Amino acid sequence: MAQIKKILVANRGEIALRVMRSAKEMGVSTVAVFSEIDRNAPHVRFADEAVCLGPSPSSESYLKGERIIEVCKNRNVDAIHPGYGFLSENADFARKVEAAGLIFIGPSARSIEIMGDKLAAKNAVSAYDIPMVPGINRAIDNVTEAKKIAKEIGYPVLIKASAGGGGKGMRVVEGEYELQEQMERAISEAKSSFGNGAVFLEKFITSPKHIEVQILADQHGNTIHLFERECSIQRRHQKVIEEAPSSVFDDKRRQLIGEAAVKVAQACDYYGTGTVEFIVNENLDFFFLEMNTRLQVEHCVTEEITGIDLVKEQIKIAEGKALEIKQSDLSIRGHAIECRVYAENPDDNFLPDIGTLNTYKRPQGLGIRVDDGFEEGMQIPIFYDPMIGKLIATGKDRNEAIARMTRAIDEFNISGVQTTLSFCKFAINHEAFINGSFDTNFVKHFFNPDDIKMASESQEEEKIAGAIALMLLTDSTTVKESKLDTQSRNNGKWKQRAYLD
Ligand code: ADP
Ligand code: ADP
Ligand code: MG
C-alpha cells in the first residue's frame, strides 16, 4: 500500500485550498501550481511549495498536463489531486500520471473514459436495471431515423451531445418541424465544442428536479452512497443552489436512489468519490442522467450532513486503503444548503461581472462555512470560471438552514462586482423553494430581476430607517412604523408573485 506524503493540487481557487486543508490535517505536504495572474492567490500562499506553470490562459497553465507531471518529478510529489474542471475528467491525463509512477487521486482512467461519454455510460449501466430517460442510447445522424424515434418517445425531445458537459451541448426540440434544423446545429456544435459530433435523443422532461447521489468506493470492491443532493435551482443548465437532503424524498425513496447509484458506480468498477446524477419527475420517478467522476462543487453539503471529509476519503482510497465507513454507519444530521457565489449579474441574465473585490467581508457564526479563493482587493481574472466561492449554511432542519443562509447572505458584504447572492436570497425565501415544489425551471418561472432590485431598495430603506432611529432615540414610534411598512410591502410582493406565476 502506497503512502502519500506530498500532493500536488492541479487546480486553483476555492477547490485548491479546500483540498490542501485536508491534506495538511493528514500531515501530507502540498504543492500549489499557478498561472501568472494567480501569483498572489490564497491557494499559492497556503501551500508548502508553489510552482508557476505559465501564462494566464488555462491552455498555457492549468491544462498543461505534461508540465504538471514534470513538476511532480522535480519536487518528489507522490500524488496529484485534480480538483474539478480543468484536467479532472481527462482520462488521457490520468493515464499519463500513472505511467509516470504517480498516483492520480481519482478513479481509473477507464472509469473516466466510460462515464465521460454519456452514451458509453448509458451502455455500461444498461445491464444493471437502472431506470433511464426514454430515448435512444446510440449516436444518431440520420434525420429520418431521428424523426421516427422522436415520434415514438413523444415531443418535446432533447438532443444531447454525448461528450457534452457543464450544461453545454443540449437542444430542446418542440416538434417535428424543427428537428432537422436543431439536429444539424447540435452536431456541428458538438464537433466544434467537444471534438466529437456524436449526438443522441432523450425525452425532454418538462418539469424535472435534478437530484444526485454522492458515492464513495475503494479499490477493494466496497461501494457506499452518502445520500442525495437536490440541485434543481439552475441557470443555463448549471447549478446555483444545492441542498442535502432533498425535501421531497422519504427514507424509502432515498434508499432506492442510493442503491441505484451504487449499481451505476459498480457498472464501471468505480473507485474514489463520484456523483451519480438523476432527473426526477413529478411522481418522484428517477432516471439516470450521467456520472461525474470527480469531487463535485457541491460536495460540501454532503460533508455537512454526514460529518465525513470527502477529500480525506479520496486520499485514503488513492493510497489503496479499504473504506472504514459502512453504509449502516451513515445517517443524516440536519440540513445543509449551498449558494454558489459567482461574479455574475442576476439583473443581466447572469452574465459574468468581472472586476475588483473592493469590499469582501465574509459572514461568520454558528453553522456557516465559506469555501472561497479570494480576498478583499483581489481582482477576479477573466480567464477562468467566475466563481468567487461557496456559502454553506447548516441547521438542525431545513427551516433553520434557510434562516441561517438568509442571515449570512445579509452579512456577506461584497462590493466591486455583482454576485449571485441577491438571487440566492430571493430564491431560498420564495414560496416554491420553501415548500419544495420547485424544479429546474425555477429561474424561468419565478425570477424577475426587478424582485431583487426592489429587495435591495427596501434594504436601503431599512438602513436609512436604522440611522434615523439612532438619531431620534426619543421618537421611536415613527421609526417602528416606517420599518414595519417596508417589511409588509416586501412580504406582500413575494406572495403576489408566487400566485401570479
Ligand atoms: P458540478 O458538476 O460539480 O456540480 P459544474 O457543472 O458547475 O459543477 O462543473 C464543475 C466545474 O467543471 C466548473 O468549474 C465548470 O466550469 C467545469 N466544467 C464542467 N464541464 C465543463 C466543460 N464541458 N467545459 C468547461 N468547463 C467545464
Ligand atoms: P452536463 O454534462 O452538462 O452536466 P446533464 O446531462 O447532467 O449534462 O444535464 C444538465 C442539466 O440539464 C440537468 O441538471 C437538467 O437541468 C437538464 N437536463 C438534462 N437532461 C434532461 C432531460 N432529459 N429533460 C429535462 N432536462 C434535462
Ligand atoms: Mg451533469
Cα within 13 Å of Cα(229), Cβ side:
31
Grid cell locating 109: 482512467
Distance 353 CA to ligand 3 centre (A): 24
| pLDDT grade for 489, boundaries at 50, 70 and 90 | very low
Single out the catalytic residue among 229, 294, 340, 404: 294
Distance 276 CA to ligand 1 centre (A): 15
Q: What is the 3-state secondary structure (H, E, C) of 228-251?
A: EEEEEEEECCEEEEEEECCCCCCH
Distance 85 CA to ligand 1 centre (A): 5
pLDDT at 342 over 90: yes
Residue closest by Cα to atom 12 of ligand 2 = 237
Q: How far apart are CA 117 and CA 140, in angstroms?
A: 15
Q: Does 59 sit in the ligand 1 pocket, CB within 6 Å?
A: no
Q: Does 338 sit in the ligand 1 pocket, CB within 6 Å?
A: no
**Which numbered atom of ligand 1 lies nearest the CA of 297?**
3
**Which numbered atom of ligand 1 lies nearest the CA of 242?**
4
Q: Which of 170-179, 460-469, 480-489 has the highest mean pLDDT?
A: 170-179
> What's the rounded mean pLDDT across residues 52-63?
98
Best CA proximity match to 298, nearest among 261, 245, 361: 245
45's CB contacts (< 8 A; 6+ apart) are: none
**Which numbered atom of ligand 2 lies nearest the CA of 202?**
23
Cβ contact 11:34 at 8 Å = no
pLDDT at 494 over 50: no
Q: 0.85 exceeded by the pTM? A: yes
- For a mutational test of ligand 1's pocket, the pick from 112, 293, 301, 385, i.e. the residue with the most ligand atoms closer than 8 A to its C-beta, is 385
458's CB contacts (< 8 A; 6+ apart) are: 486, 489, 490
Q: Where are the beta strands (DSSP E) in 204-343?
A: 209-217, 223-235, 238-244, 272-280, 286-292, 335-342
| pLDDT grade for 500, boundaries at 50, 70 and 90 | very low
Distance 401 CA to ligand 3 centre (A): 25
Q: Does 159 sit in the ligand 2 pocket, CB within 6 Å?
A: no
> What's the rounded mean pLDDT across residues 168-178?
94
Dmax over CA atoms of the chain, in Å, equals: 80
pLDDT at 329 over 50: yes
Question: What are the angstrom distances between the C-alpha of 389 and each of 203, 286, 296, 339, 426?
Answer: 34, 30, 13, 9, 19
One-letter amino acid identity for 161? A
Strand, coil or helix: what is 488? helix
> What's the rounded mean pLDDT across residues 254-275?
98
Q: What is the CA radius of gyration of the chain?
A: 24
- pLDDT tens for residues 469-484? 555 554 433 333 333 3
* Neighbouring-strand partners of residue 288: 132, 278
With a pLDDT cut of 70, the percent of the chain lying above it is: 91
| pLDDT grade for 453, boundaries at 50, 70 and 90 | confident
- pLDDT tens for residues 277-299? 999 999 999 999 999 999 999 99
Distance 11 CA to ligand 3 centre (A): 20
Grid cell locating 362: 465574509
Q: How far apart are CA 6 and CA 58, in angstroms?
A: 24
Residue closest by Cα to atom 24 of ligand 1 = 166
Grid cell locating 501: 406565476
Tell how strand 103-104 and strand 79-81 pair up: parallel
Please tell me the predicted confidence (pLDDT) of residue 479.
Answer: 33
Q: Does 236 sit in the ligand 2 pocket, CB within 6 Å?
A: no
Q: Is 294 a catalytic residue?
A: yes
Strand, coil or helix: what is 350? coil
**Which numbered atom of ligand 1 lies nearest the CA of 166?**
20
User: Could you tell me the sign of the dihedral formed by the alpha carbons of 16, 22, 25, 27, in that order?
Assistant: negative
| pLDDT grade for 460, boundaries at 50, 70 and 90 | low
Give the number of whichever ligand sits closest to the CA of residue 229: 1
Give the number of whichever ligand sits closest to the CA of residue 298: 1
User: Could you tell me the sign of the dihedral formed by the alpha carbons of 290, 296, 301, 302, in that order?
Assistant: positive
| pLDDT grade for 21, boundaries at 50, 70 and 90 | very high
Best CA proximity match to 351, nearest among 242, 441, 235: 235
CB count, 10 Å around CB of 463?
A: 10
Q: Does 292 sit in the ligand 2 pocket, CB within 6 Å?
A: no
Please tell me the predicted confidence (pLDDT) of residue 459.
Answer: 65
Grid cell locating 324: 472504514
Residue closest by Cα to atom 6 of ligand 2 = 289
| pLDDT grade for 1, boundaries at 50, 70 and 90 | confident
Distance 224 CA to ligand 2 centre (A): 24
Give the number of whichever ligand sits closest to the CA of residue 294: 1
Distance 286 CA to ligand 2 centre (A): 13
Q: Residue holding cell 449554511? A: 393
Element housing 187 (H / E): helix 179-194
Q: How far apart are CA 266 and CA 225, in angstroms?
A: 12
Locate all alpha helices (DSSP H) within 32-178, ordered by sequence.
42-46, 65-74, 91-99, 109-116, 118-125, 143-153
Q: How far apart are CA 4 and CA 56, in angstroms?
A: 30
Q: How far apart are CA 229 and CA 302, in angstroms?
A: 7
* Neighbouring-strand partners of residue 103: 79
Please tell me the predicted confidence (pLDDT) of residue 491.
Answer: 32
pLDDT at 270 over 60: yes
Distance 265 CA to ligand 3 centre (A): 15
Question: What are the angstrom distances between the C-alpha of 364 and each of 42, 367, 392?
Answer: 19, 9, 11
pLDDT at 139 over 70: yes
**Which numbered atom of ligand 2 lies nearest the CA of 135?**
23
Please tell me the predicted confidence (pLDDT) of residue 472.
Answer: 54
Q: Does 385 sit in the ligand 1 pocket, CB within 6 Å?
A: yes
Through-space distance between the first and last CA atoms of the chain, rounded to whole angstroms: 58
| pLDDT grade for 268, boundaries at 50, 70 and 90 | very high
- For a mutational test of ligand 2's pocket, the pick from 237, 241, 287, 296, i.e. the residue with the most ligand atoms closer than 8 A to its C-beta, is 237
Q: Does 158 sit in the ligand 2 pocket, CB within 6 Å?
A: yes
CB count, 10 Å around CB of 220?
A: 11
